Amino acid sequence: MVSVHFDHLGYVDGKLIRGALDNDSGVSALIKIANGLQEKAKQKPFDEDIIFCAFNGEEEATVGSHAFVEQITSQYI
Tell me how crowded residue 5 is: count the other CB atoms within 10 A of its CB. Answer: 19
**Domain coverage including residue 53:** 2-76
Domain count within the chain: 1
The pLDDT score that the predictor gives to residue 53 is 87
Q: For the chain, 77 residues long, give each residue's pLDDT as a single digit of tens.
A: 888 877 766 788 998 877 666 567 888 899 999 999 999 999 999 999 899 988 876 666 677 788 888 888 887 66
Extract the runs of DSSP E, i.e. beta strands, from 1-77. 2-6, 10-12, 15-17, 52-56
* Overall pTM surpassing 0.75 (yes/no): no
37, 30, 38: which is closest to 5 by C-alpha? 30
